[in-house]
Amino acid sequence: MKIGIYGQFYHEKSGIYIQQLLEALDKNNIEVVIEKNFLELIDLHDDIDKSYSHFSTFEELDHSYDLFFSIGGDGTILRTITYVRDLGIPIAGINTGRLGFLATIQKEEIKDTIDLILDKKYYISPRTIVTIDTVPPSEEFGVLNFAMNEIAVSRRNTTSMITVHTSLNDEFLNSYWADGLIVSSPTGSTGYSLSCGGPVMMPDTESMVLTPIAPHNLNARPLVIPDDKEIKLQVSGREDTYLVSLDSRTHTLPNETTVVIKKAPFKINMVVLEGDSFLKTLRKKMLWGEDKRN
């Protein structure tokens, strides 16, 4: 078995759990390859007896990997997918962060988690990915033209709102006068979109949601659409440019650039342990049902 590991940060309080993970994998004779920068952080804070192989780019990965561990929070998983991309390698998120809608494995459960994974006591939850293209074509995004949570357009360097002219399959939908517009996948429905009043969607829902950010036209409401729609956004405003964010990656585009968003031809496979589910995560993270009267 071959497993990759990625993390963005090293927290002193999580160091013991990283050690537990590496020891558990080594005990089971599992081949481990660690992202280069994260391996350097581990080496800097801990004495590691074993020498580990490392990777730095997507091009160094292949289909020989059985699993990927993402150590951190949901933001770390969003970075992990930029390495995994369309390889289909299942990702297991170990939560050393805060909320953790995607990183659902608690750091205190590492030893039990390894046993469950080795015993194949988990299932795969495929997650829809959204991609972006532009008219005219732009080299701004490169090969990382996709997002797991959302693609959003927003105002830049101004307190004035922008107008986002929106069409679905070339049919005009609406002009949003707002701070911006979020195009969210089902996975992203519990993120930025939710904080702007969007609905929660089950991960296997074949839909996307358009959620305006602080709309001035108050009758504009979040809209759930089928995920086979092609979305075109044209932005106008007092500034000559606007921001486009793909999860946590932000770019600047000129106003004359049209953004085209649609479902990607591949999905990201998330590992869900037996006994866990999206509904259980909702109840736990959003405190559904937590009422003193119950």
Residues 86/263, Cβ–Cβ less than 8 Å: no
**Largest interatomic CA distance in the chain:** 62
State yes or no: 191 annotated in a binding site: yes
Residues 262/129, Cβ–Cβ less than 8 Å: no
State yes or no: 195 annotated in a binding site: yes
Bond preceding residue 136 cis, omega within 30 of 0:
yes
State yes or no: 245 annotated in a binding site: no
State yes or no: 242 annotated in a binding site: no
State yes or no: 17 annotated in a binding site: no
State yes or no: 155 annotated in a binding site: no
State yes or no: 75 annotated in a binding site: yes
State yes or no: 96 annotated in a binding site: no
Q: How many Cβ atoms are within 10 Å of 66's Cβ, its own excluded?
A: 14
Q: Which of 56, 35, 231, 257 is nearest to 131 (CA)?
A: 231
3-state secondary structure at position 147: strand
State yes or no: 10 annotated in a binding site: no
Active site residue 74: yes
Beta strands in the chain, from DSSP E residues, in sequence order? 2-7, 31-35, 53-55, 67-72, 91-95, 105-106, 122-135, 146-147, 150-154, 162-168, 171-178, 180-184, 207-213, 223-226, 231-236, 241-246, 249-254, 258-273
Residue 73 CA to residue 105 CA, distance in Å, equals: 10
State yes or no: 73 annotated in a binding site: no
State yes or no: 92 annotated in a binding site: no
Active-site residue among 74, 86, 133, 291?
74
State yes or no: 156 annotated in a binding site: no
Residues comprising the binding site? Answer: 74-75, 79, 149-150, 179, 190-195, 214
Report, as residue numbers or ranges, the catalytic residues: 74
Residues comprising the binding site for NAD(+)? Answer: 74-75, 79, 149-150, 179, 190-195, 214
